[in-house]
Structure 1
Amino acid sequence: MRSFVEFLSRIGCILVIIEDVREVKLLQVSQENIYIEFKNVNSDLIQTTHISLPGKFTIPDTNVTFQSSKQPVFNLRLKAICENHIQLSGFNDEMQEKWCKKELSQLSFFTFNCINCNNTIISKDNFSRLNDMPSEHWEELMDYWHCHKPSINDTNQLNTDLYSGKFKHTLRPIRTELLLGGSYFLCLPESLELQITMNNNDKDNKEICCKKCRHVLGEPTKDELIKLYKWNLKLNKNNKDYETFDPVDDILMSLLTFAKDQSGRYILISYNQTRLLLWLFNTGLRISTSKSHIMTNANKILYTMNNELITTAKQTHNMEEITVQQAPFQKCISQLQKSNEALPISLQKFDEWSVSYLQLYNHPN
């Protein structure tokens, strides 16, 4: 049996879809679950189970039955009021990057540790200043920052820590400063000389590694800064609880930011000549799936790796194209497929596109 539940907020209705059953009967409804009795397609055994709802609901009328336009698919509609429901958008004003300056500044203590051996890499002991990067693609905006751009003839300004030598379209932190990007941290090599080491085995592909276990943490930039990817670290808030960064959130944040800033719904991501096209179809959804994974601000994302469909879409739609690291690319494909497989088969495809639901910073294990 597969199930899918969505709260249709505009009409105040819960839609329940159940598949791979021969019969189904509604037994009971609570604020957070519905209880059903069913028979599988190839069995006469009567079974009971519950299906999680995507929130707490008041349901005034439970005297309804499942309907079926074609077996083995049944659907049920329940008039419902969701407690504390706020109409959300996946790219609302409250969307913020994970482990940003605002979040970290509210912590009295934190360290970032190697995800492999737990060795401390970043702490308040070696960084007293935190600053957010202006954008993951900040270099494209540099020509517009005239108020921060020094005159080439102003040698006093050009010799400061921020503008060493000459203006090179780079942000250069001081030794005790950590720059926070959406998916990475940026700092000077001397800021972490005791915590990291350089892997120079491949001169064309240098890597930054944990000095204790040699696990890869990031890479040097063309400006000779240290770039550490967040998914290679874990946040320690109190010496007991650790928080990780899912690589798929790097791509999901890019998709939502593109939708918010440029009203674009398509993003083409690539890694090593492999391409994946994402279509942000809808945002701010309340859903639950067969495995009781609940999302209260889900994004409906259609996706394809079909090159012919990608070529056609590029000709007709405004599209952002980005190249990403291996970890977020592979994790994105994995999460999209996992989400798609959890849906009833009747909901897995939209024309030639595959359907999935993802929520920023909320992914099933």
Structure 2
Amino acid sequence: MCGLSTFGKSRLVLTADRISWRNEKSDNEILLKDFTIQPQSAQTIQILNKHELHLRLQLANLKEFVNDEYDSQLEYILSCSGQDQMLKIHCKQCQYPITHQNRVFSRVLELPSENWQEYLDNWCCHGNDAIFKLKDCTNPREHDCFLGDWYIVLHPLAINTNNVFLSMKDNNGVSCGKCKAKLGEVTTTEQRTTRRLSPELIKYVSVKLFKHSISLYATVSPILQDIFTGFGEEKYLARKFKSLSKTCLCHKFIVNKITAAKQTNDLSILLIWILNIDTKFVSSLHSTQHSRKYEEWTMNAFSGVKVLFKLFLDDDFIKKQNEWHKNDRYDVVDLPEVISLRLISFLHKNNKILPQSLRNVNNFKCFLQVSFLKL
């Protein structure tokens, strides 16, 4: 499906690496990147709303879309897991150091897939000592650094106690001591009041730092640069919902906003229905060449989580929320106020990227908007 400005009497030409259409006023061309098409597979060609051309095409040579630079650096770090490594971790917002200077880690290892503990709990309906032993294996030692899908896990003694704040009222939140940006959360064995991390860190099990909130520099890398540069909030949210969907019976989520001032999470602001946790999208957002009679786009492909959503501003939001409560077919996700508002922003922005005819659905007994989150 292509969103085009105008057609009239146009001539559509399909080749393996491009889509072209020409009329009396202009020539337009879309160059295909990351994949090719099979022109003979074109079918059900139609024009909708006078500015959208819809057709079905079979894609070929569609590859996996990953952040190659990020994966190559991370793979290099993991390949050096048998030797001591100096990793520098800073706040992404203000570049304030989070770990001790020249901190050396003897083990840098990947964690199991997200929510594996929930898998184990669902498989065993009775207590099992082996499960608890497995969970204890993921608690890092002082010189361990464990890498998860959207966070890393460190021992509390690796954290510079003078550069962070800990708030037990904010979901065990760990914040930057300089700009107060939330960096992650801490796992503890006892409740404490808001304070800086004290020398009694042995009572804390681990510190989880979100990849979208930190910068990671590895001295083993040939070029000292932030490995998590391309890991932003949208990718964090996409991976979070993807991991949650793997362990839930129904992929419906009510998102609650946690207000920092009152620390309450009873305000529901979003209903999300996950349709597909690994969808391949093709998009041509910006023209690479433009003139009065000629325009060229480059079409890229990427992976994302496809969702339906309803905002709290919609008239029937409360009605739909009550229906979900009655059927008990949903899970609740509590997000800090800033992150929840960013989630709404991403969904709204990506909804506008879609062609107008595909932005909404009205066949699930209510009016829902269609969007996605980039992985």
For residues 115-134 of structure 1, the C-alpha deviation after alignment (integer angstroms, 9 at most, x for no partner) is 13435545983332345555
Q: How far 1:303 moved relative to its partner?
A: 1.0
Q: Secondary structure at the match of 1:116?
A: coil
Q: How far 1:220 moved relative to its partner?
A: 4.1
Aligned residue number for residue 279 of structure 2: 284
* CA 1:215–1:17: 2 relative to 1, 3 Å: closer
Q: Secondary structure at the match of 1:21?
A: coil
CA distance in 2, matches of 1:180, 1:33: 40
For residues 149-199 of structure 1, the C-alpha deviation after alignment (integer angstroms, 9 at most, x for no partner) is 48xxxxxxxxxxx99xxxxx9964322223444443333432223673336
CA distance in 1, matches of 2:112, 2:127: 12
Aligned residue number for residue 53 of structure 2: 75
Q: How far 1:279 moved relative to its partner?
A: 1.6
Aligned residue number for residue 232 of structure 1: 213
AA partner of residue 275 (structure 1):
I
Aligned residue number for residue 268 of structure 2: 274
* CA 1:228–1:234: 2 relative to 1, 3 Å: same
Aligned residue number for residue 51 of structure 1: 30
Q: Judge conservation of contact 1:348–1:356 (CA < 8 Å) in 2.
A: yes
CA distance in 1, matches of 2:23, 2:325: 45
Alignment partner of 2:369 out of 333, 341, 354? 354
AA partner of residue 257 (structure 1):
S
AA partner of residue 307 (structure 2):
I
Q: Judge conservation of contact 2:238–2:304 (CA < 8 Å) in 1.
A: no
For residues 14-63 of structure 1, the C-alpha deviation after alignment (integer angstroms, 9 at most, x for no partner) is xx243553626245444343223469xxxxxx343333547432444599
* CA 1:121–1:197: 2 relative to 1, 3 Å: closer
TM-score normalised by structure 1 residue count:
0.66
Q: Which moved more, 1:334-343 or 1:180-189?
A: 180-189
Check if 1:31 corresponds to 2:34: no
CA distance in 2, matches of 1:131, 1:144: 28
For residues 197-217 of structure 1, the C-alpha deviation after alignment (integer angstroms, 9 at most, x for no partner) is 3367xx845864446766553
CA distance in 1, matches of 2:250, 2:321: 16
* CA 1:179–1:195: 2 relative to 1, 3 Å: farther
CA distance in 2, matches of 1:269, 1:100: 34
AA partner of residue 106 (structure 1):
S
CA distance in 1, matches of 2:355, 2:185: 42
Q: Judge conservation of contact 2:254–2:268 (CA < 8 Å) in 1.
A: no
CA distance in 2, matches of 1:220, 1:333: 26
* CA 1:22–1:328: 2 relative to 1, 3 Å: same
AA partner of residue 281 (structure 1):
L
Q: Judge conservation of contact 2:17–2:37 (CA < 8 Å) in 1.
A: no
Unpaired runs of at least 5, structure 2: 65-70, 190-203, 259-266, 287-297, 312-316
CA distance in 2, matches of 1:48, 1:313: 50
CA distance in 1, matches of 2:162, 2:359: 46
AA partner of residue 115 (structure 1):
K
Alignment partner of 1:105 out of 78, 81, 85? 78
CA distance in 1, matches of 2:309, 2:368: 6
CA distance in 1, matches of 2:338, 2:73: 21
Identity, % of aligned pairs?
20
Alignment partner of 1:125 out of 96, 103, 112? 103
* CA 1:144–1:181: 2 relative to 1, 3 Å: farther
Q: Judge conservation of contact 1:340–1:354 (CA < 8 Å) in 2.
A: yes
* CA 1:210–1:146: 2 relative to 1, 3 Å: same
Aligned length: 312
Unpaired runs of at least 5, structure 1: 1-15, 40-45, 89-97, 151-161, 164-168, 361-365
For residues 204-244 of structure 1, the C-alpha deviation after alignment (integer angstroms, 9 at most, x for no partner) is 45864446766553344443343322221123353145433
TM-score normalised by structure 2 residue count:
0.64
Q: How far 1:298 moved relative to its partner?
A: 3.7
Aligned residue number for residue 92 of structure 1: none
CA distance in 2, matches of 1:350, 1:54: 29
Aligned residue number for residue 147 of structure 1: 130
Aligned residue runs from structure 1 range 126-205, under 5 A? 126-131=104-109, 144-147=127-130, 149=132, 172-193=139-160, 196-198=163-165, 204-205=169-170
* CA 1:25–1:319: 2 relative to 1, 3 Å: same
* CA 1:72–1:139: 2 relative to 1, 3 Å: same
